[in-house]
Amino acid sequence: VEFLYCDLASMKSIRQFVQQFRAKNCPLHVLVNNAGVMLVPERKTEDGFEEHFGLNYLGHFLLTNLLLDTLKQSGTHSHNARIITVSSATHYVGKLHLNDLQSRCSYSPHGAYAQSKLALVLFTYRLQHLLTANGSHVTANVVDPGVVNTELYKHVFWVVKLVKWMTAWLFFKTPEEGASTSIYAAVSPEMEGAGGCYLYNEERTKSADVAYDEELQRRLWTESCKMVGISDESSRVP
């Protein structure tokens, strides 16, 4: 096991990480996009992005795109490289505000978090469409880990914290249990060659209806490319 530092809230750090990784000339068979914050007070990343959208979504968007060439070179017909992105059931109530992705007009921690998780599902579906169109041996899937007992809840209201403390042993998954579906997506033979899936409890399930809106997927992708400063090569793919 080797550790390389990467701050998903910093575009500079992400680019430096990718540069360091590429210098090692290693194959990349599995990428798990798992970093995130939840219900944080209104604040910005060092690049000026609203933190939920900047860290949860844009950081993973940039990281994945910068590593795509390596992933494509690493995948084969019989063993596809795999991209797993961790979303949340919160995406079902999320709304994507393309005209205000930074939640500047009206900030709600719950709304900003849900939007970032919906964006990850839309991103995954568009990414799989592009990978398929290009004939790449790479698959992209999105995972709902469930309600997991981690420090992700440190910004919730104190009453919720109290309830969590009292009931976590009964209703919350352990971190190990929460990771099981991501691991399943990453290594299960059943998922070989399967992309564009929403997985919960190691089973394919249906995501929010709006996540299947291909025009919304396309518009979010284009806008995301502008925000992180990369070319939108997808514009050549219908």
Q: Annotated active-site positions, please?
A: 113
Residue 126 and residue 117: Cα distance in Å, rounded? 15
Residue 116 and residue 87: Cα distance in Å, rounded? 8
Instruction: Answer whether 114's CB lies under 8 Å from 234's CB.
Output: no
Residue 127 and residue 138: Cα distance in Å, rounded? 10
Cβ–Cβ contacts within 10 Å for residue 207, how many? 22
Give how far the C-alpha of residue 11 lies from the chain's centroid of Cα atoms, to the nearest Å. Answer: 15
Residue 129 and residue 86: Cα distance in Å, rounded? 18
- Angle, helices 59-74 vs 109-133, to 10°: value is 20
Torsion 31-205-123-5 (CA) sign: negative
